[in-house]
Structure 1
């Protein structure tokens, strides 16, 4: 009799577990369906189009044509070096600015820290336009120079070069490094700094031996995120109008809009997505280890 009761309870438990599983599946189905409709389906269309040359049929010829082109290799190289250089600049500048905000007392430090959060919501083209107003060919800096010297043009003519793109990306993405750093610095035990100072350690040594080791996880997380964002940046390159600066997103735009080469554009887009997804996976791993 007892065994029969236990068996009946086990059956009821399995039935209830099945009902809970079905209920969870039913609740998860709508968001999964929306994700598939608005994200995965367009992505599938892009991948499918990348295997369909203009001549018809299904072929890897679009990949062969794109990989063999000098424009793709140049765009890939430009994208990589700009992303790496921008990330390095953001790490150095973000670390220095975060140090000042977190450890150097000055009026308005909290307001500046809050502004960093607000800055993250700004569109990238807004920063580029601001730099154009200051350093553009007819910007404030060149206008002041020509007004003082009478020269035909000012000396600041770098915004339409790769260096202008680099400056704009560092300016825009540095707060993405500062935000996790400020969070990490807020959890740092200030007693360690006081002890190091009482033992005669100067500021550079305190930064190198006490602060930097604590900041490394946040630096890695912020740097990984900036690297992913720089690889996919389109607005900054477009609005600076940099001559000869063609990144992978710009190449997608050029092939799709200017050349009407949709298979080639889809091939470049697939490559860009694969690189971004790989780096995003790295960012997630680093973020989990950093506790971000």
Structure 2
């Protein structure tokens, strides 16, 4: 039989293999045209997306900060010099303001830690009506401005406040006994009142994740409440306490509104010193030098807060 016509009629692709099925396309070889973008194009795209926020940050934050630093290096006599920093560090007003700022911030942080731990402990573990509503109010309280709390304390304990008014009506005295809001103790009370919820918030979150079976087991074995708090609850709360305390310390260090609204004339903190040098004395190089020192301290404490928060998982 002659098979030559049949071989001639066979399709040309039979020699190379079976034909592709209908509807199926061949895969594109690596490196061929139409492949996805390479690492270089992805990096360029990320850089392009990062440019707008970086530009806004540089325009509205870094540029004003650079102007403050430049002004702190330009004394009134002209030129560039460290003389403003030398004058600031040599002044007794700066040393007093630095000491006042540090001890008020540390004392307020300690007060917030103690009061915040006790209040969070009661809200989380003592059943009473309205506990959940009070826990939600803590979140709302965080949005209040600091001067609002100071005004509330003035209405209560000011010279013409409610407490002194009730005292004079009851005793007939000309003046009431409450006259501490214009002292460092008034500033301390206002800061503890305002910043305590900043400690309570991470504590309540930590207490919500605590295994209550441990508490029930300890109670069934006869452990008293102080022992349970010391041996079970407090170790679990230490990371949240450290994170909240670090944040409160940073905020207290830079607090301006509370000191201003209490009218404490004898209390001069670093932010108040910046205000006095810039507005009252028109000493802009000195004010900028104090501001730079305050920023450096704040950034250092904020770095500490970030480390503690990362370890605490906050």
Specify the TM-score bucket, using the shorter chain as the normaliser.
over 0.9
Q: Please, which runs of 5 or more residues in structure 2 have no aligned partner?
A: 1-28
List aligned pairs for 1:30-109, cutoff 5 A.
30-109=52-131
1:36 CA displacement: 0.4
List aligned pairs for 1:1-292, cutoff 5 A.
9=31, 16-292=38-314
Question: Distance between the aligned counterparts of 1:192 and 1:224, measured in 2?
Answer: 29
1:243 CA displacement: 2.5
Question: Match for residue 3 of structure 1?
Answer: none
1:27 CA displacement: 0.5
Q: Deviations over 1:215-251 (max 9, x none)?
A: 0000000000000000000000000011210000000
1:9 CA displacement: 3.0
Question: Match for residue 4 of structure 1?
Answer: none
Secondary structure of 2:38 counterpart: helix
Question: Match for residue 3 of structure 2?
Answer: none
Q: From the superposition, tell whether residues 113 and 8 of structure 1 become closer, same or farther in structure 2 (CA, over 3 Å).
A: closer
1:17 CA displacement: 1.2
Question: Distance between the aligned counterparts of 1:154 and 1:13, measured in 2?
Answer: 83
* CA RMSD across the alignment: 1.5
Q: From the superposition, tell whether residues 212 and 11 of structure 1 become closer, same or farther in structure 2 (CA, over 3 Å).
A: farther
Q: Deviations over 1:94-141 (max 9, x none)?
A: 000000000000000000000000000000000000000000000000
Question: Distance between the aligned counterparts of 1:132 and 1:108, measured in 2?
Answer: 28
Which is richer in helix?
A: 1
Q: From the superposition, tell whether residues 270 and 10 of structure 1 become closer, same or farther in structure 2 (CA, over 3 Å).
A: farther
Question: Distance between the aligned counterparts of 1:222 and 1:11, measured in 2?
Answer: 55
Q: Deviations over 1:16-63 (max 9, x none)?
A: 211111111000000000000000000000001000000000000000
Question: Distance between the aligned counterparts of 1:124 and 1:208, measured in 2?
Answer: 33
Q: Deviations over 1:132-169 (max 9, x none)?
A: 00000000000000011111100000000000000000
Question: Distance between the aligned counterparts of 2:267 and 2:35, measured in 1?
Answer: 64
Larger radius of gyration: 2
For normalisation by structure 2, the TM-score amounts to 0.89
Question: Distance between the aligned counterparts of 2:34 and 2:244, measured in 1?
Answer: 50
Question: Distance between the aligned counterparts of 2:69 and 2:215, measured in 1?
Answer: 54
Deviating beyond 4 angstroms after TM superposition, the runs of 4 or more aligned structure 1 residues are 10-15
For normalisation by structure 1, the TM-score amounts to 0.96
Question: Distance between the aligned counterparts of 1:224 and 1:11, measured in 2?
Answer: 55
Question: Distance between the aligned counterparts of 1:10 and 1:165, measured in 2?
Answer: 71
Question: Distance between the aligned counterparts of 1:96 and 1:27, measured in 2?
Answer: 46
Secondary structure of 1:152 counterpart: coil
Aligned residues: 286
